[in-house]
Amino acid sequence: MTVKYTKDHEWVRVEGDVGTVGVSDFAQHQLGDVVFVELPDVGRTLEKGKEAAVVESVKAASDVFSPVSGEVIEVNHDLENEPARVNTGAQTEGWFFKLRLSNPSELDGLMDEAAYKAFVEESN
Amino acid sequence: MSMNSQGRPSAIPAASGTDAVTGTFTGNRGLQIEEPLIFEQDSAGRCGVDLPEAPKVASRLGGVKPRAKVGLPGLAEPQVVRHYTRLSQKNYAIDSGLYPLGSCTMKHNPRLNEKMARLPGFADVHPLQPESTVQGALELMDTLAHWLKTLTGMAAVTLAPAAGAHGEMCGIMAIRSAHEAKGDTGRTKILVPESAHGTNPATAAACGYTVESIPATADGRVDLDALKAKLGPDVAGLMLTNPNTCGLFEREILAIAEAVHGAGAYFYCDGANFNAIVGRVRPADLGIDVMHINLHKTFSTPHGGGGPGSGPVVFAESLAPYVPVPYVVHGADGFQLVETAGEGPAFGRMKAFHGQMGMFTRALSYMLSHGADGLWQASGDAVLNANYVMARLQDVMTASFEGPCMHECLFDDRFLKGTGVTTLDIAKALIDEGFHPMTMYFPLVVHGALLIEPTETESKAGLDQFIDALRSLAERAKSGDVAYFQGAPRLTPRRRLDETAAARKPVLRWVPPVPAEALAAE
Q: What is the pLDDT of residues B426-437, one digit of tens each?
A: 999 999 999 999
Task: DSSP for B426-445, please give it.
Answer: HHHHHHHTT----EES-STT
DSSP B37: P
- Name A21's bridge partners: A12, A97
Mean pLDDT, all residues of chain B: 91
Predicted local confidence at residue B6, as pLDDT: 60
Q: Which domains does chain B have, with CATH numbers?
A: 111-368 (3.40.640.10), 378-504 (3.90.1150.10)
Say if the Cβ atoms of B503 and A60 lie within 8 Å.
Answer: no
User: Is the CB of residue B206 less than 8 Å from the CB of residue B158?
Assistant: no
**Min Cα–Cα distance to chain A from B484, Å:** 21
Which tens digit of pLDDT belongs to each residue from A58-110?
877 888 999 999 999 999 999 998 999 999 999 999 999 999 999 999 999 99
* pLDDT for the residue A5: 96
Chain B positions touching A35 (Cβ under 8 A) are: 500, 503-504
CA distance B39 to chain A (A): 29
Please indicate if any CB of chain B lies within 8 Å of the CB of A29.
Answer: no
A80 touches chain B (CB under 8 A): no
Nearest CA in chain A to B205: A51
Pairing of strands A10-15, A34-38: unpaired
Cβ neighbors of B498 (< 8 A, separation 6 or more) are none
Q: Do A33 and B442 touch (CB under 8 A)?
A: no
Report whether pLDDT(B15) > 50.
no
Min Cα distance B386 → chain A (Å) is 25
With an 8 Å Cβ cutoff, are B500 and A35 in contact?
yes
Dist CA B88 CA B306 (whole Å): 13
pLDDT band, residue B3 (cuts 50/70/90): low
Pick the closest to residue B433 from B488, B475, B499 (CA basis): B488
Chain A residues with CB inside 8 Å of B198's CB?
61
| pLDDT (0 to 100) of residue B66 | 83
Which of B198, B210, B504 has the CB atom closest to A35's CB atom? B504
**Sign of the torsion angle spanned by Cα atoms B511, B515, B520, B522:** negative
What's the confidence (pLDDT) of residue B67? Answer: 87
CA atoms within 13 A on the CB side of B42: 11
% of chain B surpassing 90 pLDDT: 74
Of A50, A56, A58, nearest to B499 by CB-CB distance is A58
Q: C-alpha B503: how far from its chain's center?
A: 21
- Cα-based angle B294, B300, B305 (whole degrees, multiple of 5): 75
Is residue B206 packed enough to be buried (19+ CB in 10 Å), middle (13-18) or exposed (0-12)? middle
Rounded (to 5) percent helix, strand, coil in chain B: 40, 10, 50
CATH fold group of domain A2-118: OB fold (Dihydrolipoamide Acetyltransferase, E2P) (2.40.50)
Mean local confidence (pLDDT), B343-358: 87
Listed in sequence order, the residues at least 6 apart from B238 whose beta carbon sits closer than 8 Å to its beta carbon are B190, B191, B192, B214, B227, B256, B260, B265, B266, B267, B268
The distance of B494 to chain A (nearest Cα, Å) reads 19
Which chain A residue lies closest to B424 (C-alpha atoms)? A59
CB-CB: which of B198, B444, B500 is closest to A58? B500
pLDDT in tens, B446-487: 999 999 999 999 999 999 999 999 999 999 999 999 999 999
| Average pLDDT for A1-30 | 93
A74–chain B nearest CA distance, Å = 23
pLDDT top residue among B34 and B342: B34
Q: What is the DSSP secondary structure assignment for residue B32, as one 8-state letter?
A: B
Q: Which of A50, A59, A84 sits opposite B504 (nearest CB)?
A: A84
Chain A nearest C-alpha distance from B481 (Å) = 22
User: Which of A33, A50, A60 is opposite residue B500, by nearest beta carbon?
Assistant: A33
Among chain A residues, the shortest Cα distance to B499 is held by A58
Residue B11 has pLDDT above 60, yes or no: no
Which chain A residues contact residue B500 at CB under 8 A?
33, 35, 58
User: CA of B441: which chain A residue's CA is closest?
Assistant: A59
Q: Return d(Cα B36, Cα B82) in angstroms, integer.
A: 11
Considering only CB atoms, A58 lies closest to which of B198, B442, B503, namely: B503
Interface residues of B toward A, Cβ cutoff 8 Å, are: 198, 210, 441-442, 444, 499-500, 503-504
Q: Is A115 on the interface with B (CB under 8 A)?
A: no
CB contact under 8 A, A61 and B198: yes
Among B195, B314, B183, B319, which residue's Cα sits nearest to residue B246? B195
pLDDT at res. B305: 65
Structure confidence by residue, pLDDT tens digits, B311-345: 999 999 999 999 999 999 998 889 999 988 777 77
Q: In A, which residues are within 8 Å of B450 by CB distance?
A: none
| Beta sheet of A61-65, edge-to-edge order | A34-38, A51-57, A61-65
* Residue contact B503–A61, C-beta within 8 A: no
- Any B CB within 8 A of A60 CB: yes
